[in-house]
Structure 1
């Protein structure tokens, strides 16, 4: 491996499972010092221990992305431990499923709080630290193809991810003078718990998804980490971009190639 992130320090929120855990492990393998995160320190520590066992450097920090003070404390702990914050990945997310007319106020607020407000808190606090350091940095927000298209029974999630996409562009413009690159990664159908929930909500089978995807298959965690590594490696001219890693899903206008 090329060690593209050697000497960098990265926080990955929601990194106890799925795409977040895969990104944390990939960044460590690329040479970054990684802070894993979950609302459960035990779950975050499991991933940090796996990184350490593979020869990487990681610590686990418990925090709730919807709590501004807890997020500030995580960034402070990161800087205390490693001396800087160079990469912030806002990955933590969840969904609630149901017809729009039946979504409760509590479920609506919970999804927006985690999937959008949590991204803003993480970005804001990381941006402050990077501006203070005067050495630039990278912020990567994990969005979804649902941020640009509609899917029934997913109103809060789709709305939150659309907000993430616009927030990404706004922060990229605002913080460009500080050499802070802000981008988003919008995965398509990757085999994770949240994808399984999406399939259930939309009554999609695996075959339906393969037929609907021009590349004819699900994406992999390795493919997502490849995209994430590129986007946080700031040796490029890319900022304010929402990269759709979806096998052509959003480009496919007709619908399904199934017989």
Structure 2
């Protein structure tokens, strides 16, 4: 698929590390101009320095919970590259704990970043793509947890369930503008966030492996490949939630061990 995104411009929110960084790197390797975003300009700059490609990269500080900040990011993107063709809503956080102990601030923080931030980004991108009149691809990074309940993750799972239905609603509303809106809902992926969860709550990695039909954690590259496929636009898909989860949801419940 090399060069499949030549002359396209992509924004990836929360792309200074983890899955977002992998997505930015993959899109750039396919020829897209890529805006690398973080709440910290220093982290965005450092991420750009790490990406090896011949595409143009632009680091921009912006907070996804601030719609005006995202509008400014979009305006700078268009001023620099002339268009906005791909927008990936990747920024996300997780706060864990028993539901009865989650504070209002903790709940609101997760909803603000994961759900409202995704809506703000999609709205800003959608308006720009509508004005351009050339269509586009909006890709929301959700989670397989948006399809199920889980102890200690009520704010996160709820926010990702909202992202899934937001994806379907926007896909329907913007189909007439040839704007495809889809989501990627990964399972357990080897990232710093998973490492942090292991440190905080001490889940057993072997339990996850045993619960996953493919028998391992996924990789950032595998998630980024799914995003690149959707971004290339050579498909008849909108309103879809793709699950690179190693078969977790298909398995229902149980363990291979």
Is 1:70 the counterpart of 2:80? The answer is no
Alignment partners' CA distance in 2, 1:140 and 1:194 = 20
Q: Distance in 1 between matches of 2:66 and 2:118?
A: 11
Matches within 5 A, 1:22-101: 22-51=22-51, 53-101=52-100
> C-alpha displacement at 1:66, in angstroms?
0.2
Q: Which moved more, 1:117-126 or 1:39-48?
A: 39-48
Structure 2 CA distance for aligned equivalents of residues 201 and 253 of structure 1: 26
Gaps of 5+ in 2: none
Q: Shift in Å at residue 198 of structure 1?
A: 4.0
CA contact (8 A) 2:28 2:53 kept: no
Shift of 1:46: 1.3
Equivalence for 1:151: 150
Deviation at 1:193, TM superposition (A): 2.0
CA contact (8 A) 1:10 1:35 kept: yes
Return the alpha-carbon distance in structure 2 between the equivalents of residues 24 and 193 of structure 1: 17
Matches within 5 A, 1:240-259: 240-258=239-257
Task: State the partner residue of 1:105.
Answer: 104
Alpha-carbon offset, residue 54 of structure 1: 3.2
Give, in angstroms, the shift of residue 196 of structure 1. Answer: 2.7
> Structure 2 matches for 1:130-169, cutoff 5 A?
130-169=129-168
- Structure 1 position 196 matched with structure 2 position 195: yes
Taking a change above 3 Å as real, the CA distance of residues 144 and 200 of structure 1, as seen in their structure-2 partners, is farther
CA distance in 1, matches of 2:232, 2:200: 35
User: CA 1:36/1:147 → structure 2, altered by over 3 Å: closer, same or farther?
Assistant: same
Residue aligned with 1:108, SS: helix
Asked whether the equivalents of residues 152 and 202 of structure 1 are also in contact (C-alpha less than 8 Å), the reply is: no
- SS, match of residue 251 in structure 2: coil
How many Å apart are 1:57 and its aligned residue? Answer: 1.3
Task: Tell me the equivalent position of 2:207.
Answer: 208
**Cα deviation digits, residues 12-45 of structure 1 (max 9, x gap):** 0000000000000000000000000000011111
User: Taking structure 1 as the reference length, what is the TM-score of the superposition?
Assistant: 0.96
Q: Secondary structure at the match of 1:217?
A: coil
Farther off after superposition, 245-254 or 137-146: 245-254
Instruction: Supply the RMSD in Å over aligned alpha carbons.
Output: 1.2
TM-score, reference length from structure 2: 0.97
Distance 1:156 1:138, change over 3 A: same
Counterparts of 1:140 and 1:199, CA distance in 2 = 28
Q: Distance in 1 between matches of 2:49 and 2:132?
A: 29
3-state SS, counterpart of residue 43 of structure 1? helix
Match of 2:174 in 1: 175
State the shift of 1:239 in Å: 0.4
Supply the distance in 2 between the matched residues of 1:29 and 1:47 (Cα, whole angstroms): 15
Aligned equivalents of 1:91, 1:232: Cα separation in 2: 14
Q: For this pair of structures, how many residues does the alignment match?
A: 257
CA deviation map 1:176-203 (0-9, x unaligned): 0000000000010001122234445664
Checking the alignment, whether the CA contact within 8 Å between 1:98 and 1:201 is kept in structure 2 is no
